[in-house]
C-alpha cells in the first residue's frame, strides 16, 4: 500500500478570521495529486469557524482540520485544557502532539507526549507526532539517540501496531523558524533512521507510516525535500500563513 503524502499547516499563535476565509477559498482552487491530504491547524478559537466555513464552501474532502495540541486528560477540572471530545465536535481529524515548542517551552516530557498520543488514538483521531533534535545535539552526533528516546515511550505506550494510524513529523529544532533547512540528503538520512527504528519492531508497520519533514520548508525547497524516498510530506510553519505560497507547496506534492 502506497503511503499517503500529507502537508500540514501549523499556524502556531498566528492567523485570524480573515486568514481562515482566505485559506479555505485558496485551497479549494488547488489541484491536489491523488493520495495527497492537506491538514490546516489554526489556533483553538478558530477551529469551529474553519469547520463551519469548510462545510459552507464545500471544501474538497482531501483537506482536513487539525489541532495544534490536546490534553492528555479525557475531561475534568483542568482549566484551559482542550479534550479530544471537544476537538471532535469541531470536526478535527488530526492533532499535533509533542511539538518542540511544547517540549522546550512548556516542558512536556516524552512520557506525557505518549499519553497524549494514546488519548488521540483512543478518540479515533490521527496524531502528528513531532520529534527532533537541537542544534547542539546535532553537532554532537546525538540525533539518533534523541529521536530514539522520543519515539520509544510512544512505542511502549501504544504498541507498534497502532503506529499504522500515527503520522510522524521530524523537525530539527535548529531549523524551525530560523530560515535554516536540513539539506535534502540530511533530511532523508534522518527520516530513514526513523523508519529503520520503527522497523526494529515491525518492518511492515514502518513501511506504512507517513513521515513528514518540518523546518523552514517553503515553496522554493519543498520539491527537492519531498522527492526523497522516506519523506512523505511536510509540517509547514511560516509558509503556511501565506496562502499563495502554501498553495504552491500543496500543489507540488506528488502523492
Whether the pLDDT of residue 179 is over 90: the answer is no
Q: What is the pLDDT of residues 14-51, one digit of tens each?
A: 999 999 999 999 999 999 999 999 999 999 999 999 99
Catalytic residues: 99, 171
Among 39, 104, 102, smallest CA distance to 69 is for 102
Q: Dihedral of the CA atoms 204, 205, 209, 211 (nearest 10)?
A: -80
Q: Which residues contact 132 (CB under 8 A, 6 or more apart)?
A: 100, 146, 147, 170, 171, 172, 173, 176, 214, 215
The percentage of residues in the chain with a pLDDT greater than 70, rounded to a whole number, is 100
pLDDT on residue 2: 80
Among 255, 252, 222, smallest CA distance to 238 is for 222
The percentage of residues in the chain with a pLDDT greater than 90, rounded to a whole number, is 93
pLDDT on residue 175: 79
* Cα angle 176, 34, 99; round to 5: 20
Name the grid cell of 233: 510530506
Q: What is the pLDDT of residues 209-239, one digit of tens each?
A: 999 999 889 999 999 999 999 999 999 999 9
Name the grid cell of 83: 479534550
Section 77-83 average pLDDT? 98
Is domain 5-252 given the CATH code 3.20.20.140 in the classification? no
Name the grid cell of 190: 534522518
Q: Where are the domains of the chain?
A: 5-252
Q: Dihedral of the CA atoms 137, 138, 143, 146 (nearest 10)?
A: 20
Whether the pLDDT of residue 10 is over 70: the answer is yes
Section 196-201 average pLDDT? 98
Compute how many other C-beta atoms are within 10 angstroms of the C-beta atom of residue 245: 17
Q: What is the pLDDT of residues 107-141, one digit of tens each?
A: 999 999 999 999 999 999 999 999 999 989 999 99
Among 67, 47, 196, 186, smallest CA distance to 128 is for 67
User: What is the chain's mean pLDDT, rounded?
Assistant: 96
Contact of 97 with 70, CB cutoff 8 Å: yes
Whether the pLDDT of residue 1 is over 70: the answer is no
Contact of 133 with 100, CB cutoff 8 Å: no
Whether the pLDDT of residue 162 is over 90: the answer is yes
Q: How far is CA 175 from CA 56, 58, 182, in A?
A: 37, 35, 7
Section 88-92 average pLDDT? 98
**CA-CA-CA-CA torsion sign (24, 228, 118, 126):** positive
Among 227, 197, 217, smallest CA distance to 209 is for 197
The whole-angstrom separation of Cα 131 and Cα 150 is 6
Amino acid at each position: 500500500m502506497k503511503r499517503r503524502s500529507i502537508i500540514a499547516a501549523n499556524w502556531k499563535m498566528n492567523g485570524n478570521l480573515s486568514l481562515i476565509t482566505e485559506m479555505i477559498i485558496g485551497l479549494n482552487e488547488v489541484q491536489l495529486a491523488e493520495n495527497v491530504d492537506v491538514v490546516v491547524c489554526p489556533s483553538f478559537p478558530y477551529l469551529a469557524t474553519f469547520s463551519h466555513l469548510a462545510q459552507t464552501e464545500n471544501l474538497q474532502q482531501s483537506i482536513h482540520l487539525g489541532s495544534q495540541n490536546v490534553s492528555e486528560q479525557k475531561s475534568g477540572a483542568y482549566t484551559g485544557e482542550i479534550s479530544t471530545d471537544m476537538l471532535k465536535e469541531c470536526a478535527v481529524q488530526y492533532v499535533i502532539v509533542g511539538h518542540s515548542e511544547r517540549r522546550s517551552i512548556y516542558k512536556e516530557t516524552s512520557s506525557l507526549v505518549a499519553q497524549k498520543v494514546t488519548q488521540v488514538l483512543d478518540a479515533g483521531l490521527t496524531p502528528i507526532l513531532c520529534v527532533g533534535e537541537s542544534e547542539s545535539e546535532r553537532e554532537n552526533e546525538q540525533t539518533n539517540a534523541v529521536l530514539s528516546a522520543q519515539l520509544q515511550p510512544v512505542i511502549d505506550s501504544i504498541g507498534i501496531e497502532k503506529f499504522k494510524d500515527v503520522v510522524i513529523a521530524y523537525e530539527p529544532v535548529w531549523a524551525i523558524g530560523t530560515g535554516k533547512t536540513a539539506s535534502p540528503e540530511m533530511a532523508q538520512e534522518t527520516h530513514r533512521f526513523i523508519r529503520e527504528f520503527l522497523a526494529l519492531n515491525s518492518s511492515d508497520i514502518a513501511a506504512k507510516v507517513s513521515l513528514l519533514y518540518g523546518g523552514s520548508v517553503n515553496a522554493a525547497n519543498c520539491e527537492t525535500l519531498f522527492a526523497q524516498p522516506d519523506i512523505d510530506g511536510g509540517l509547514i510553519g511560516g509558509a503556511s500563513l501565506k496562502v499563495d505560497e502554501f498553495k504552491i507547496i500543496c500543489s507540488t506534492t506528488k502523492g
